[in-house]
Amino acid sequence: MAPRKKKEEKPVRRRKNANAYIAGAGTVVESHVTETLKSNFMPYAMSVIVSRAIPEIDGFKPSHRKLLYTMYLMGLLKGGTIKSANIVGRTMQLNPHGDAAIYETMVRLSEGNEALLHPFVASKGSFGKAYSRDMQYAAARYTEAKLAPIAAELFNDIDKDTVDFVDNYDATMKEPVLFPVSFPTVLVNANMGIAAGMASSICPFNLREVCETTIAYIKDPDCNVSDTLLAPDFPIGGQLLYDRNEMERIYETGRGSFRVRGVYRYDADAKCIEITEIPPTATSEQIIEKIVDLVKAKKITEINDVRDETDLDGLKITIDLKKGVDAEKLMKKLFRSTPLQDSFSCNFNILIAGSPRVMGVKEIISEWVAFRTECVRRRVFFQLAKAKERLHRLHGMEKILLDIDKAIKIVRETAEEREVVPNLMIGFGIDELQAEYVAEIKLRHLNREYILKQLDEIKSLEEQVAELEDILKSRSRVLKIIVKELQEVMKKYGKDRRTQIISAEENRIADESEEADRSPYTVFFTKDGYFKKISPQSLRMSKEQKLKDEDEILQTIETDNAAELLFFTNKQQVYKARVSDFPESKASLLGDYVAGVLDFEEGENPVYMVVTHDYAGEMIFVFDNGRVAKIPLLSYQTKTNRKKLLNAYCEKFVLHTVLFLPAATDLLLVSTNGRRLLVNSAAISGKTTKNSGGILVMTQKRGQRIFSAEIYEPGKLENEHRYRTKNLPAAGSYQPSGTAQQEQMQF
């Protein structure tokens, strides 16, 4: 057997730089990263922005438009409902993205889902609920749908050249680029989308208020939007905490946020709270799960049971209360701690002529009015062309009125059919269009009475043409038409507000007065990181504290339930909480493990606790090398409700002691060499930067460090003036030999 030939090895091609890539067959092609991104990612990003995620000025994304237009072509504005699967299948002629995506779009547009203030799809069957995660919609083969009456406002005059049409994806059908909507749907129904590098979040407004605002803008472009457009309005209802400055900022810029809270009623007989409306950003399951977590963590102790009792009558979450519980106080606590109160973020990003723009409400209305003006002008121009064409034909009929017999004779004596129209044109001096119209008149209509009736229409048509031409010349008349149509929409579809408006400022003051629970407590903090708050009554019954083995109490402070807590940790962080966040404890219990309650990082432990109401006072950080940092406690105050602050103190040096000083006082520093130094905290320069390394206060020789640091109690040292100094840093002084304190010191 002949020896097998050794396979010839191909030379390995190495990339010269990071911008090279293998194109195939061992070929390396040079390409810049930026060019690759442009050629691959940019088309995708633009497709998502323009063709999927961002709504246009008519208030719809392409997926909405394709579905609703298909239902319109199917004649679903009238008659009964049909199977959703049928609608979904037909929509695939326009939308190639699959039946599941099309059906989900229909679900959100439906009445049954309750996601929109004014749904465009009338539904029959289970379409799920927007406020519930677990109440899912049934399959398309089980549900039925048709267009809701308000959908007629989307298609008015769509067949009168009011908007442009384009080919569908396979060029077998035409579909509208936009709907000629007769009211600003973009502001009436909520619309959200996430594109590539941008997003859109448009809150819904009351239809009547939107129409009134649009009319006010048409009459006076300098009008104040806030006078007529009170606030957003959500299908689920709720209570909107109204801040006029924030709302006007949203109206002006198109960006911002506001808070919405749920609505409840208290049943005194059943001793329960029934929540019937929730924020649009929450689901009933999220709220129940959060309440359960709070009860398990003993942060809320007033609840016996919570359950979902949603039925055909609508949403209902029932909370059973313990005896003697104040329902209003409990709800304020739930609003602070659960999604029962949440923020809605606005980002009014809309496609205008194919380009995304973030606009305020007035600018959106301005763009819609410009769009609607063009739609009305195109409709009027279409009607004018039709009227002129009809008038032109009737003028031709008018000419044959003088001699009908002549017209009949011309037709009868013409040998070939194709010569009839030319002969009529010659015989009566009319054009081809008029002659064609005359030639198509039925034999039974060749009587004077019929022709005279047709000719009576000429005068009205001439008046109509003059009227339409005048409208096209006058922008004010076009705007009057828009106003009239808006008034008709308000009258037919206007509804009262569902979302209540309450003052955010008054609510804040009420919450603050409610939060100011000044019930007295004594709080304990232990070396192992346990926290207890015990009432005076409970403390009088038993003062002996239960602790873990080798644990000890580091701090005991008398305070009240409204105080704030700061826990400094061994990882240069501080965690913030309130005394009211912790459940009441007893001396016979270990208390709450702070690291677990506040979600500390792994290996992180609390080393010191501060109790404050007004953040007055100073923090003292004593490091092993004799440096001391004095930081105002005010530096740890935050306007937002942040639970954790980083860089609470300097990490460059080893921390020895943390102290909180409500006012300036003397500190006693003791070094491992036996020297003592008395220094007043006022002599230490303060720093506003939290992680400052401070200043050197007590000098240390090599191998020495701070042994102890504490607040000095007058009389503890004999001849205390020996240990004071006028200048810092200082080494301190030894204690005279033979004193009791010296004999107790062992290093």
Active site residue 450: no
Burial-class residue 499 by CB neighbours within 10 Å (0-12, 13-18, 19+): buried
Segment 218-270, tens digit of pLDDT: 999 999 999 999 999 999 999 999 988 899 999 999 999 999 999 999 998 88
CA angle 384, 386, 388 (to 5 degrees): 65
Return the higher-pLDDT residue of 414 and 8.
Answer: 414
Judge whether 633 and 618 are in contact, CB under 8 Å: yes
Q: Which two tokens stand for residue 739?
A: 């004193």
Q: Which of 43-52, 142-151, 439-448, 731-740 has the highest mean pLDDT?
A: 142-151
Which residue type occupies 403? Answer: D
- Mean pLDDT over residues 205-210, rounded? 96
Task: Name the pLDDT band for 50 (thresholds 50, 70, 90).
Answer: low
CB neighbours of 120 closer than 8 A, spacing ≥ 6?
Answer: 68, 109, 147, 148, 150, 151, 154
Half-sphere exposure of 485 (CA within 13 A, CB side): 22
The answer to whether residue 680 scores a pLDDT higher than 60 is yes
- Mean pLDDT over residues 545-562, rounded? 89
d(CA 669, CA 647): 25
What pairs with residue 357 in β-bridges? 350
Which residue, among 503, 319, 330, 465, has the nearest Cα to 386 in the 3D structure? 465
In the chain, how many H helices and how many E strands? 22, 35
Per-state percent for the chain, helix, strand, coil, to nearest 5: 35, 25, 40
The answer to whether residue 191 scores a pLDDT higher than 80 is yes
Task: Name the pLDDT band for 743 (thresholds 50, 70, 90).
Answer: very low
Q: What region does 423 belong to: left with phi over 0, alpha with psi -120 to 50, or beta?
A: alpha
pLDDT in the model for residue 508: 60
- Mean pLDDT over residues 442-452, rounded? 74
Which residue type occupies 277? Answer: E
Segment 287-301, tens digit of pLDDT: 999 999 989 887 888
Domain 614-628+646-747 class, CATH top level = mainly beta
Judge whether 578 and 562 are in contact, CB under 8 Å: yes
- Mean pLDDT over residues 22-34, rounded? 64
Cβ neighbours around 461 below 10 Å, total: 16
Which residue, among 221, 344, 327, 232, has the nearest Cα to 282 in the 3D structure? 344
DSSP element (H, E) containing 25: none
pLDDT in the model for residue 346: 93
Domain 263-339 class, CATH top level = alpha beta
DSSP element (H, E) containing 168: none
> What is the domain partition of the chain in residue ranges?
57-181, 263-339, 366-493, 516-613, 614-628+646-747
Active-site hit among 21, 44, 142, 734: 142
Task: Name the pLDDT band for 721 (thresholds 50, 70, 90).
Answer: confident
Segment 573-627, tens digit of pLDDT: 999 988 888 888 888 888 899 988 888 888 899 999 999 988 999 999 999 999 9
d(CA 427, CA 450): 22
CB neighbours of 593 closer than 8 A, spacing ≥ 6?
Answer: 529, 530, 531
Task: Name the pLDDT band for 199 (thresholds 50, 70, 90).
Answer: confident
The answer to whether residue 714 scores a pLDDT higher than 90 is no
Task: Compute CA distances 214 → 93, 227, 501, whole Å.
Answer: 36, 12, 21
- Mean pLDDT over residues 213-217, rounded? 96
Cβ neighbours around 682 below 10 Å, total: 14
Which residue, among 264, 277, 204, has the nearest Cα to 236 in the 3D structure? 277
Domain 57-181 class, CATH top level = alpha beta
The answer to whether residue 745 scores a pLDDT higher than 80 is no
pLDDT in the model for residue 203: 94
Whose structure tokens read 């709220």?
287
Segment 505-551, tens digit of pLDDT: 666 655 554 555 678 899 999 999 999 999 888 888 877 888 888 88
Task: Name the pLDDT band for 42 (thresholds 50, 70, 90).
Answer: low
Half-sphere exposure of 421 (CA within 13 A, CB side): 9
The answer to whether residue 645 scores a pLDDT higher than 90 is no
pLDDT in the model for residue 575: 92
- Answer yes or no: CATH 3.40.50.300 is held by domain 366-493: no
DSSP 453-503: HHHTHHHHHHHHHHHHHHHHH-HHHHHHHHHHHHHHHHHHH----SSEEEE
d(CA 45, CA 47): 5
CB neighbours of 496 closer than 8 A, spacing ≥ 6?
Answer: none
Burial-class residue 416 by CB neighbours within 10 Å (0-12, 13-18, 19+): exposed
d(CA 172, CA 70): 14
Q: Which of 149-153, 257-261, 365-369, 417-421 has the lowest mean pLDDT?
A: 417-421
Which residue type occupies 544? Answer: E
Judge whether 277 and 236 are in contact, CB under 8 Å: yes
Backbone phi, psi, residue 195, to 5°? -100, -165
The answer to whether residue 646 scores a pLDDT higher than 70 is yes
The answer to whether residue 736 scores a pLDDT higher than 80 is no
Q: Which of 143-152, 194-203, 347-356 has the highest mean pLDDT?
A: 143-152
Task: Name the pLDDT band for 83 (thresholds 50, 70, 90).
Answer: very high
Judge whether 523 and 611 are in contact, CB under 8 Å: yes
Q: Which of 138-142, 408-412, 464-468, 497-501 has the lowest mean pLDDT?
A: 408-412
Q: Hey, is 608 helix, strand or coil? A: strand
CB neighbours of 411 closer than 8 A, spacing ≥ 6?
Answer: 420, 423, 424, 439
Which residue, among 283, 337, 300, 340, has the nearest Cα to 641 in the 3D structure? 337
Judge whether 126 and 84 are in contact, CB under 8 Å: no
Judge whether 185 and 60 are in contact, CB under 8 Å: yes
Judge whether 364 and 348 are in contact, CB under 8 Å: yes
Torsion of CA 241, 247, 251, 255, to 10 degrees: -80
Judge whether 650 and 691 are in contact, CB under 8 Å: yes
Q: Hey, is 24 helix, strand or coil? A: strand
Task: Name the pLDDT band for 12 (thresholds 50, 70, 90).
Answer: very low
d(CA 281, CA 660): 42
Judge whether 628 and 684 are in contact, CB under 8 Å: yes
The answer to whether residue 6 scores a pLDDT higher than 80 is no
Q: Which of 2-16, 393-407, 512-526, 688-702 has the lowest mean pLDDT?
A: 2-16
Average pLDDT of the residues of the chain:
87
CB neighbours of 104 closer than 8 A, spacing ≥ 6?
Answer: none
Task: Name the pLDDT band for 112 (thresholds 50, 70, 90).
Answer: very high
pLDDT in the model for residue 507: 66
CA angle 467, 471, 477 (to 5 degrees): 120
Radius of gyration of the chain (CA): 40
Q: Which of 174-183, 401-410, 640-649 has the highest mean pLDDT?
A: 174-183
CA angle 392, 395, 399 (to 5 degrees): 145
The answer to whether residue 495 scores a pLDDT higher than 90 is yes
Task: Name the pLDDT band for 747 (thresholds 50, 70, 90).
Answer: very low
End-to-end CA distance of the chain: give it in Å, rounded.
91
What pairs with residue 124 in β-bridges? 144
The answer to whether residue 123 scores a pLDDT higher than 90 is yes
Q: Which two tokens stand for residue 108?
A: 């959100």
pLDDT in the model for residue 735: 78
Return the higher-pLDDT residue of 43 and 554.
Answer: 554
DSSP element (H, E) containing 21: strand 20-24
The answer to whether residue 20 scores a pLDDT higher than 70 is no
Q: What region does 24 belong to: left with phi over 0, alpha with psi -120 to 50, or beta?
A: left
Share of the chain above pLDDT 70, in %: 90
What pairs with residue 24 in β-bridges? 27
Segment 340-370, tens digit of pLDDT: 999 999 999 999 988 889 999 999 999 999 9
d(CA 160, CA 384): 11
Task: Name the pLDDT band for 424 (thresholds 50, 70, 90).
Answer: confident
Whose structure tokens read 């339409």?
468
The answer to whether residue 3 scores a pLDDT higher than 60 is no
How many residues comprise the chain?
747
Return the higher-pLDDT residue of 541 and 318.
Answer: 318
- Mean pLDDT over residues 482-502, rounded? 95
